Amino acid sequence: MKSESVLPEKLRICLVGQKINVLSRASDTGLLWPLARGLTERGHEVTIISTSTPLKKPEIFRDGIRAYYLSEGQPQYKTVRFADA
């Protein structure tokens, strides 16, 4: 007997992007925030991980979406080639 795969109605989704602009509803740009908002409106739990935001906050919760910005509140590290480290 062949079993069918059934996805749950509510998924926990993590989206990762280098830059996600979240300034105001009128100025949302890019793909990830509108995508996350649409998934949240359909009942999914969405988390975004990014590097930084113009709001200079390490964490934002808006439109049912939790976003973590890994570089906010941290000292800025200089990027060094592996061979030079």
**Higher-pLDDT residue of 81, 69:** 69
69-80 pLDDT per residue, tens: 888 766 655 566
Q: Is residue 4 one of the residues assigned to a domain?
A: no
7-33 pLDDT per residue, tens: 888 999 999 987 776 655 544 457 788
Q: Which helix (H) or strand (E) holds 18?
A: none
Q: Is residue 57 one of the residues assigned to a domain?
A: yes
Domain that holds residue 33: 12-84
Question: Does residue 39 register a pLDDT over 90?
Answer: yes
What gap in Å lies between CA 60 and CA 20, rounded to an integer?
12
Q: Is residue 79 one of the residues assigned to a domain?
A: yes
Query: Which letter, b or e, does each residue of 20-31 get, where b requires 16 or more Cβ atoms within 10 Å of its Cβ?
Result: bebeeeeebeee
Q: Is residue 60 one of the residues assigned to a domain?
A: yes
3-state SS assignment for residue 40:
helix
Number of domains in the chain: 1
Q: Is residue 3 one of the residues assigned to a domain?
A: no
Regarding pTM above 0.85, the answer is no
Q: Is residue 36 one of the residues assigned to a domain?
A: yes
- Max distance between CA atoms of the chain, in angstroms, equals 59
Q: Is residue 46 one of the residues assigned to a domain?
A: yes
